[in-house]
Structure 1
Amino acid sequence: MYNEGVEGIFKYFRLIDRKDHILKNYSFLKPYTFANGMQIKNRIVMPPMTEVSSFHDGTVTNDEVAYYAKRSGGVGMLITAVANVTDGGKGWAGELSVADDRFIPGLKKIAQAIYQDDTKAILQIFHAGRMTSSAILNGRQPESASAVAALRSDAETPRELTDAEIETIIDAFAAATKRAILAGFDGVELHGANTYLMQQFFSPHSNRRTDKWGGSLEKRMRFALTVIERSQKVIEQYATKPFLLGYRISPEELETPGIRLVDTLKFIDVLADQPLSYMHVSMGDVWQTSLNDKTDKTPVITQIAQVINHRLPIIGVGSLNKPVEVEKVMAADIEFAALGKEMLREPHWVEKVMADDEQAIRYTISPRDLDDLGITPALWQFILSGSLKKHMNITAK
């Protein structure tokens, strides 16, 4: 178990019996039991967020261990920043790796740091596909479903993967799942969102293949479905306790051709019958409507929930900060709510709600807070240089 020393002793409102201190009957504080029997103590999830704090080769650093330890204990589930499953799948500097057995000891430290007060530790895994560069890959050309560059100014044209290479990458996802089990995690989340390789195979923009991996909608589903199948086989073989297999999805793309909601809903209908534990819907606003059909006023997550029809629990994420906002998600019959940026600013969000101390919840961040929050200089620069900055409510220079 990771030991925070003095900080751990005085961690905010570490209550002997927290049930005695729950003064508000929030639905998100109720436990949830997955189909495999794993119980989650509440419905609050810390979603995967890039923390760019690993060593250059993907090895875990002490800074990362401390970062996760600060944010564990309150949330029901904590999903790590993504880890690549192959060297060719690395997306950026400072990224975790689960591509080799040598990474297991470091990943074990993260899992142990998260597992405080029964917070469940989930490792997100991926392959970046075309969303990387030869500079990141030490001169190696990026690879993807097809040789089609992403629509961004600095995009490189990837190399089209061969059938044998696709099979190797699928096996790498399965091997990464085994390593997550050996490292002590409670589950893995397959990153099928945010334009990375699993999404690239589903997208008609990045996948122009005419073999069994592309062409029709059904064939564009094949890569993800095969990854799920082989990862589940590993879980059945190696897991000695309930182990979650989650899937994160981005419902739409703006590219033409690109993923449209009608195809995603068909895909989700298929995914809901796979051996998955949950569906994590990646959006900037949990109540976001269609990006492409402005006449469609029904929130995307509502449409997804209707298709799933309780076959899988759903994690909703996007612009959730205050308890009343999270409770609205529960009222919509969405099983879990993920707080991203808010968990960067306020690691003890759940503890403060449980202690009836909501007025102490921090909704802003100052550079003076960074050491206390365990935010490394690399992560802070990432926040300041990207789209996160305008959403972080930074209060001081």
Structure 2
Amino acid sequence: MSYLTTHLDNCKLTLNNRLILPPMATSKSELNGEVSQGLLDYYDEKSQGGYLSLIIIEHSFVVPQGKASKGQLSAADDSMVEGLKKLANTIHKNGSKAIMQINHAGSATNKDITGGCGNVGPSPIVNPLIKQEVPKELSKEEIKEIIESFKDAARRVKNAGFDGVEIHSAHSYLLNQFYSPLTNKRTDEYGGDILGRIKIHLEIIKVVKEAVGEEFPVLLRLGACDYMEGGTTVEDSKIAALEFQKAGIDILDISGGLCGFVAPGHAREQGYFSEITQAIKEVVSIPVILTGGITEAPAAEELLALGKADLIGVGRAMLKDSLWAKKAIESLE
């Protein structure tokens, strides 16, 4: 029996196999963040045949101040919903489920990208991965406004017909900046120990669930480790993962923290975040996604067989070869 080709049912989201396309920025959206024909064509090609059970759309910004790059998708305005409906429908007609990821860049952006908005962060510390200017420290009132922007973006995702929404807290973006002690030096309730540093996450999860309802899947992408001295550790992530499960997260999507999407020193390994996903699986009962360096179907199969994860994300290999999923599934069947 193939582990990769078995279905997964976590009650809210039934998937016909364990293979997913993780979010990867394409920069194919219109300048204002609207869905472009190029973006529709890209996801049409990647989802052909429904061999990928789930496609997690690249990150979309929740407010203009949180835009990470030119050509990034937007979930920041109700006017975007019609285009997003076309995107969800494009993926659905090919037989895959579609999740949309929502994000705020925080200090990982600049005024040229945001249209004049200065970058912000939990503390006035330069982003160690995407070195921009020193960010303005967010006030509590501004934090509340950002939390509401995630809520509004999640509502738009549901209205557009997606199968779920994913909250982005990885790769040195804003929620990851709150998560890491290297970029979060706050002395109020949004800083300090791991429970303080995930307070904003828990508040976002709460309002997102209020906006979309209990039956709509909510995922969270966690930059679980920074791989830097004084940064986040596996033990931090185990505590956080359990809290996220208690708050109602349905699936955890594990990646890197301030280091980005590659694990330093492990980049040649198939599934180089597997030690982290295995550790997290030991403390939670919800499904865990593993991505990172997986380019071979037998490696994906083995990682599942060893209990390292519940779902396998294949990104760069799918970027290079849109038929990768078809070949992998057929070879295992």
Instruction: Return the offset for 1:68.
Output: 0.3
Instruction: Return the offset for 1:91.
Output: 0.7
Q: 2:17 aligns with which of 28, 42, 45?
A: 42
Rounded to whole Å, the distance in 1 between the matches of 2:68 and 2:156 is 20
Instruction: Return the offset for 1:211.
Output: 1.4
Q: 1:315 aligns with which of 262, 283, 289?
A: 289
Alignment partner, residue 325 of structure 1 = 299
Q: Deviations over 1:170-225 (max 9, x none)?
A: 01111111000110100111111111111111111211111121123221110011
Tell me whether 1:32 sits opposite 2:5 in the alignment. Answer: no
Task: Please list every run of 5 or more consecutive structure 2 residues that lacks an aligned counterpart in the other structure.
Answer: 267-273
Instruction: Return the offset for 1:154.
Output: 4.1
Rounded to whole Å, the distance in 1 between the matches of 2:52 and 2:292 is 16
**2:290–2:312: 8 Å Cα contact kept in structure 1?**
yes
Is the strand fraction higher in 1 or 2? 2
Alignment partner, residue 57 of structure 1 = 32
Instruction: Return the offset for 1:62.
Output: 0.2
Alignment partner, residue 200 of structure 2 = 223
User: Any idea what SS the aligned residue of 2:219 has?
Assistant: strand
User: Any idea what SS the aligned residue of 1:251 has?
Assistant: strand
Instruction: Return the offset for 1:258.
Output: 2.2
User: Any idea what SS the aligned residue of 1:344 has?
Assistant: helix
Superposition map of 1:167-206 within 5 A:
167-206=144-183
Letter in 2 for 1:277: D
Instruction: Return the offset for 1:274.
Output: 2.1
Superposition map of 1:1-397 within 5 A:
25-36=1-12, 38-72=13-47, 73-151=50-128, 154-236=131-213, 242-283=215-256, 299-308=275-284, 311-333=285-307, 334-356=309-331
Q: Deviations over 1:116-158 (max 9, x none)?
A: 3431100011000001112212232101111111235842101
Instruction: Return the offset for 1:288.
Output: 8.2
User: Any idea what SS the aligned residue of 1:215 has?
Assistant: coil
Alignment partner, residue 271 of structure 2 = none
Question: Which segment is superposed worse, 214-223 or 344-353?
Answer: 344-353
How many equivalent pairs are there?
320
Identity across aligned pairs (percent)?
29
**1:49–1:82: 8 Å Cα contact kept in structure 2?**
yes
**2:44–2:94: 8 Å Cα contact kept in structure 1?**
no
Rounded to whole Å, the distance in 1 between the matches of 2:46 and 2:118 is 36
Instruction: Return the offset for 1:352.
Output: 2.8
Q: Are the structure 2 counterparts of residues 357 and 255 from structure 1 closer, same or farther at C-alpha, using a change threshold of 3 Å?
A: closer
Question: Which protein shows a greater Rg?
Answer: 1
Q: Are the structure 2 counterparts of residues 313 and 277 from structure 1 closer, same or farther at C-alpha, using a change threshold of 3 Å?
A: same
User: Any idea what SS the aligned residue of 2:143 has?
Assistant: helix
**2:108–2:131: 8 Å Cα contact kept in structure 1?**
no
**1:288–1:299: 8 Å Cα contact kept in structure 2?**
no
**1:32–1:39: 8 Å Cα contact kept in structure 2?**
yes
Question: Which segment is superposed worse, 170-179 or 129-138?
Answer: 129-138
User: Any idea what SS the aligned residue of 1:325 has?
Assistant: helix
Instruction: Return the offset for 1:56.
Output: 1.2
**2:7–2:15: 8 Å Cα contact kept in structure 1?**
yes
Instruction: Return the offset for 1:354.
Output: 4.2
**1:88–1:142: 8 Å Cα contact kept in structure 2?**
yes
Q: Are the structure 2 counterparts of residues 357 and 328 from structure 1 closer, same or farther at C-alpha, using a change threshold of 3 Å?
A: closer
Task: Please list every run of 5 or more consecutive structure 1 residues that lacks an aligned counterpart in the other structure.
Answer: 1-24, 290-297, 359-397
**1:30–1:43: 8 Å Cα contact kept in structure 2?**
yes
TM-score (norm 1): 0.76
Q: Are the structure 2 counterparts of residues 355 and 199 from structure 1 closer, same or farther at C-alpha, using a change threshold of 3 Å?
A: closer
TM-score (norm 2): 0.90
Q: Are the structure 2 counterparts of residues 288 and 236 from structure 1 closer, same or farther at C-alpha, using a change threshold of 3 Å?
A: farther
Instruction: Return the offset for 1:305.
Output: 1.6
Letter in 2 for 1:113: T
**2:7–2:14: 8 Å Cα contact kept in structure 1?**
yes
Rounded to whole Å, the distance in 1 between the matches of 2:247 and 2:102 is 18
Q: Deviations over 1:357-383 (max 9, x none)?
A: 99xxxxxxxxxxxxxxxxxxxxxxxxx
Instruction: Return the offset for 1:264.
Output: 2.0
Instruction: Return the offset for 1:286.
Output: 8.8
Q: Deviations over 1:262-315 (max 9, x none)?
A: 2222212222222111011115579987xxxxxxxx92222122122xx11011
Instruction: Return the offset for 1:355.
Output: 4.1
